[in-house]
Amino acid sequence: MANYKIHDNPVRDEWLAKIGELRTLKKGAEFLTDFRARHTTPLRENYDLELDWGWIECKIEEKVALLKHAELNDDQFLNNCVGGANAQDVADVAVAKMDACTDKYEAENLHINFRRDYKPPIMPTNVFMDADRLLGTKLMELRNIDYYAMPLEELRKERGVKIITIQ
Protein backbone atom coordinates (compact mmCIF):
# COMPACT_ATOMS: atom_id res chain seq x y z
CA MET A 1 0.00 0.00 0.00
CA ALA A 2 1.33 3.44 -0.93
CA ASN A 3 2.44 5.85 1.76
CA TYR A 4 0.01 8.61 0.79
CA LYS A 5 -0.64 11.59 3.05
CA ILE A 6 -4.03 13.12 2.39
CA HIS A 7 -2.89 16.67 3.16
CA ASP A 8 0.10 16.53 0.82
CA ASN A 9 -0.80 16.83 -2.82
CA PRO A 10 0.18 19.05 -5.76
CA VAL A 11 -3.16 20.89 -5.82
CA ARG A 12 -2.84 21.97 -2.21
CA ASP A 13 0.82 22.86 -2.67
CA GLU A 14 -0.10 25.11 -5.60
CA TRP A 15 -2.75 26.89 -3.54
CA LEU A 16 -0.45 27.26 -0.53
CA ALA A 17 2.03 29.04 -2.79
CA LYS A 18 -0.70 31.44 -3.97
CA ILE A 19 -1.84 32.06 -0.40
CA GLY A 20 1.75 32.72 0.68
CA GLU A 21 1.93 35.60 -1.80
CA LEU A 22 -0.92 37.49 -0.10
CA ARG A 23 0.56 40.50 1.69
CA THR A 24 -2.35 42.89 2.30
CA LEU A 25 -5.79 42.49 3.82
CA LYS A 26 -7.41 43.98 0.73
CA LYS A 27 -5.78 41.42 -1.58
CA GLY A 28 -6.44 38.58 0.87
CA ALA A 29 -10.13 39.45 1.19
CA GLU A 30 -10.53 39.69 -2.59
CA PHE A 31 -8.74 36.37 -3.01
CA LEU A 32 -10.95 34.66 -0.41
CA THR A 33 -14.20 36.07 -1.79
CA ASP A 34 -13.23 35.08 -5.33
CA PHE A 35 -12.22 31.60 -4.18
CA ARG A 36 -15.54 31.10 -2.40
CA ALA A 37 -17.52 32.20 -5.47
CA ARG A 38 -15.60 29.88 -7.77
CA HIS A 39 -15.20 26.80 -5.60
CA THR A 40 -17.33 26.59 -2.45
CA THR A 41 -21.06 27.22 -2.65
CA PRO A 42 -23.79 25.20 -4.34
CA LEU A 43 -23.74 28.06 -6.88
CA ARG A 44 -20.00 27.62 -7.53
CA GLU A 45 -18.59 28.18 -10.97
CA ASN A 46 -16.87 24.79 -11.18
CA TYR A 47 -16.07 21.62 -9.29
CA ASP A 48 -12.34 21.47 -10.07
CA LEU A 49 -11.41 21.42 -6.38
CA GLU A 50 -14.11 19.04 -5.21
CA LEU A 51 -11.75 17.09 -2.97
CA ASP A 52 -9.64 20.00 -1.69
CA TRP A 53 -11.76 23.16 -1.60
CA GLY A 54 -12.59 22.99 2.12
CA TRP A 55 -8.97 22.61 3.16
CA ILE A 56 -7.86 25.38 0.79
CA GLU A 57 -10.61 27.73 1.98
CA CYS A 58 -9.51 27.14 5.58
CA LYS A 59 -5.91 28.05 4.71
CA ILE A 60 -7.01 31.23 2.94
CA GLU A 61 -9.20 32.15 5.93
CA GLU A 62 -6.21 31.66 8.25
CA LYS A 63 -4.10 34.02 6.13
CA VAL A 64 -6.85 36.66 5.91
CA ALA A 65 -7.40 36.46 9.67
CA LEU A 66 -3.69 37.09 10.28
CA LEU A 67 -3.69 40.02 7.85
CA LYS A 68 -6.83 41.37 9.52
CA HIS A 69 -5.20 41.17 12.94
CA ALA A 70 -2.10 42.97 11.63
CA GLU A 71 -3.91 45.78 9.82
CA LEU A 72 -6.99 46.60 11.92
CA ASN A 73 -7.22 48.17 15.34
CA ASP A 74 -9.42 46.55 18.01
CA ASP A 75 -12.50 48.65 17.22
CA GLN A 76 -12.24 47.93 13.49
CA PHE A 77 -11.54 44.26 14.15
CA LEU A 78 -14.71 43.83 16.23
CA ASN A 79 -17.09 46.10 14.32
CA ASN A 80 -16.11 46.32 10.65
CA CYS A 81 -15.97 44.03 7.65
CA VAL A 82 -12.51 43.82 6.12
CA GLY A 83 -13.48 46.37 3.46
CA GLY A 84 -14.23 48.95 6.16
CA ALA A 85 -18.04 48.78 6.13
CA ASN A 86 -19.81 48.66 9.47
CA ALA A 87 -20.58 44.96 9.96
CA GLN A 88 -23.88 45.50 11.77
CA ASP A 89 -25.13 47.77 8.98
CA VAL A 90 -24.23 45.14 6.37
CA ALA A 91 -25.92 42.42 8.41
CA ASP A 92 -29.03 44.55 8.95
CA VAL A 93 -29.41 45.06 5.19
CA ALA A 94 -29.11 41.31 4.55
CA VAL A 95 -31.65 40.49 7.27
CA ALA A 96 -34.07 43.12 5.94
CA LYS A 97 -33.84 41.61 2.44
CA MET A 98 -34.53 38.17 3.89
CA ASP A 99 -37.42 39.46 5.98
CA ALA A 100 -39.02 40.85 2.81
CA CYS A 101 -38.44 37.62 0.90
CA THR A 102 -41.38 35.29 0.23
CA ASP A 103 -39.77 32.79 -2.18
CA LYS A 104 -37.76 29.90 -0.75
CA TYR A 105 -35.36 29.76 -3.70
CA GLU A 106 -34.65 33.47 -3.56
CA ALA A 107 -34.12 33.06 0.19
CA GLU A 108 -31.61 30.25 -0.47
CA ASN A 109 -29.66 32.53 -2.80
CA LEU A 110 -29.69 35.36 -0.27
CA HIS A 111 -28.36 33.07 2.44
CA ILE A 112 -25.75 31.42 0.21
CA ASN A 113 -24.51 34.78 -1.05
CA PHE A 114 -24.36 36.25 2.45
CA ARG A 115 -22.22 33.34 3.61
CA ARG A 116 -20.02 33.51 0.52
CA ASP A 117 -19.44 37.25 0.87
CA TYR A 118 -19.27 37.72 4.64
CA LYS A 119 -18.37 34.48 6.43
CA PRO A 120 -15.54 35.21 8.87
CA PRO A 121 -12.92 36.47 8.70
CA ILE A 122 -14.56 38.89 6.22
CA MET A 123 -17.16 39.92 8.82
CA PRO A 124 -16.57 39.77 12.58
CA THR A 125 -17.90 36.52 14.01
CA ASN A 126 -20.07 38.20 16.64
CA VAL A 127 -22.11 39.98 13.95
CA PHE A 128 -22.00 37.22 11.33
CA MET A 129 -23.32 34.46 13.59
CA ASP A 130 -26.39 36.41 14.66
CA ALA A 131 -27.22 37.48 11.10
CA ASP A 132 -26.65 33.95 9.80
CA ARG A 133 -29.03 32.61 12.44
CA LEU A 134 -31.75 35.07 11.42
CA LEU A 135 -31.28 34.35 7.71
CA GLY A 136 -31.33 30.60 8.29
CA THR A 137 -34.44 30.79 10.44
CA LYS A 138 -36.38 32.66 7.76
CA LEU A 139 -35.10 30.29 5.06
CA MET A 140 -36.29 27.25 7.00
CA GLU A 141 -39.68 28.87 7.61
CA LEU A 142 -40.08 29.38 3.86
CA ARG A 143 -38.82 25.90 3.02
CA ASN A 144 -41.07 24.13 5.49
CA ILE A 145 -44.24 25.15 3.71
CA ASP A 146 -44.98 21.85 1.93
CA TYR A 147 -41.32 21.44 0.94
CA TYR A 148 -41.24 17.76 1.78
CA ALA A 149 -44.84 17.10 0.69
CA MET A 150 -43.79 17.49 -2.94
CA PRO A 151 -43.01 14.21 -4.77
CA LEU A 152 -39.28 13.70 -5.31
CA GLU A 153 -39.47 13.86 -9.13
CA GLU A 154 -41.44 17.11 -8.97
CA LEU A 155 -38.98 18.58 -6.48
CA ARG A 156 -36.06 17.60 -8.71
CA LYS A 157 -37.76 19.23 -11.70
CA GLU A 158 -38.54 22.42 -9.77
CA ARG A 159 -34.96 22.70 -8.53
CA GLY A 160 -33.42 21.86 -11.91
CA VAL A 161 -31.63 18.76 -10.63
CA LYS A 162 -29.77 16.71 -13.21
CA ILE A 163 -29.43 13.04 -12.33
CA ILE A 164 -25.97 11.62 -13.07
CA THR A 165 -25.69 7.87 -13.27
CA ILE A 166 -22.32 6.20 -12.86
CA GLN A 167 -22.06 2.98 -14.82
CATH number for domain 9-71, candidates 2.40.30.160, 3.40.50.620, 1.20.1280.10, 3.40.190.10: 1.20.1280.10
pLDDT band at 148 (very low <50, low <70, confident <90, very high): low
Residue pair 82/68 in contact (Cβ under 8 Å)? The answer is yes
Domain segments of the chain: what residues?
A: 9-71, 83-167
User: Which pLDDT score is estimated for 2?
Assistant: 45
Mean pLDDT of the chain: 90
pLDDT in tens, 11-66: 999 999 999 999 999 999 999 999 999 999 888 888 888 889 999 999 999 999 99
9-71 and 83-167 have identical folds: yes
CATH number for domain 83-167, candidates 3.40.50.620, 1.20.1280.30, 3.90.1150.10, 3.30.70.360: 1.20.1280.30
Q: What is the three-class DSSP state of 101?
A: coil
Rounded distance between C-alpha atoms, residue 108 and residue 135, angstroms: 9
pLDDT in tens, 81-127: 999 999 999 999 999 999 999 998 899 999 999 999 999 999 999 99
Return all residues near 110 (Cβ < 8 A) that are at least 6 apart: 94, 97, 98, 101, 135, 139
